[in-house]
Amino acid sequence: MAEEIEFPFKVTDGYLGPQAKFFPYGLACLSHPEPVLILDTNKLEIVIGTSEKTRFTTKFLQVEPKKECSQYVFTQNQGSEYHFTIAVPHTGWYKFQIFALPSSEAGPNMINVYNYILHVRQADHYVESFPKQYPLWKQEGCFVYEPHMILKGVREVGVKFRYFIPKAVDVQIKVGDDWNPMEKVEPDIYEAYLDFSKGYPAGTKVKLNVKFGRSKCVLFAIIADECIDKATKEQMSLCLRFLDLDNNNTVIIEKFVGFRQSVKGAAIADLNVRFLADLELDINKIRVQCYDGDAKMAEVYKPESFD
């Protein structure tokens, strides 16, 4: 199919379709085996199958005018399947690149494994940017059935929300200042019908709030590291490391918490304290602290709060 299409831009040999690591990584196209998609709609879902736990990221580019459109891609996984929902506001040509790295592979960088070219000929849906996903949502394998987005000015009485959220102990949707509890209708599946006919003011945020069950282990370690972003600013990441004692087999768990702009010494400690306070974790339960860049944590900067 790709050979029959004349692209209005240059496509290098070997760019389209599966790349060198696609099959060795145990990946498979479950929905769109052809790398060139001619669409009379501006919404679609691409599904990739995996043979082991795999991390993914994507790059979505409009060709002309050249523009990054990552806010129009929503990534989530369901078991061994990864779902990439794409919804663009305009017609035109787009490049969709998928990057992956299975858990059995070492290294921080994900590899380009598959490339699509999309020609959206008709925008038959009004779309907004997809909601922001936080790391814990992805790490727990949560899944959005509906809705993927809330359109501006919605006035419907019964808007259905349905999510798959494992390990949750409480799930609520906050619309403005209104809290709406969700009902657990099946194992790990929550539903709610919300009334938007109240006429919420423009700019009202809709947030999904989840309280996850905690591990029985109360002690943990923190891991802080730094890297320089595209704007040449140092960013500090924080991870938690602890034991999962909920199963018969004890498992070491590491969870990414988030990024903050890097600082020095005592300020790093204060930043970590605020991180942990937001997570409702007791700093007195810390048993190990790991930092990259020891000079910043020299004795002269040692914070009293971590004594």
Domains and CATH numbers, the chain: 2-120 (2.60.40.10), 135-212 (2.60.40), 220-306 (no CATH)
Instruction: Read off φ and ψ for residue 301, nearest 5 degrees.
Output: -100, 0
> Which tops the pLDDT comparison, 32 or 257?
32
Run of H or E including 286: strand 286-291
Top-ranked range on mean pLDDT: pick from 3-7, 71-75, 147-151, 217-221 = 71-75
For residue 230, what pLDDT is reported? Answer: 64
Enter the pTM of the model.
0.68
For residue 68, what pLDDT is reported? Answer: 93
CA pair distance 148, 236, nearest whole angstrom:
30
Run of H or E including 267: helix 265-278
For residue 2, what pLDDT is reported? Answer: 44
Question: Tokens 């019908």 sit at which residue?
Answer: 193
Question: What is the rounded average pLDDT of the residues 125-139?
Answer: 78
The band of 279, judged by pLDDT with boundaries at 50, 70 and 90, is low
Residue 135 in this model has a pLDDT that exceeds 80: no
For residue 215, what pLDDT is reported? Answer: 57
Q: What is the mean pLDDT of the chain?
A: 84
Q: Name the residue among 143, 145, 138 with its Cα closest to residue 54.
A: 138
- Could you report the per-residue pLDDT of 228-274, keeping only the tens digit for each? 766 667 777 888 888 876 656 677 888 887 777 666 666 777 777 77
Residue 125 in this model has a pLDDT that exceeds 90: no
Which range is least confidently modeled, 103-107, 152-156, 216-220, 227-231? 227-231
Residue 307 in this model has a pLDDT that exceeds 50: no
Taking the C-alpha atoms of 95, 101, 102 and 108 in order, what is their torsion angle to the nearest 10 degrees? -160
Top-ranked range on mean pLDDT: pick from 31-40, 190-199, 242-251 = 31-40
Which range is least confidently modeled, 15-29, 79-93, 293-307? 293-307
Q: Name the residue among 204, 181, 185 with its Cα closest to residue 194.
A: 181
For residue 156, what pLDDT is reported? Answer: 87
For residue 162, what pLDDT is reported? Answer: 95
For residue 303, what pLDDT is reported? Answer: 47
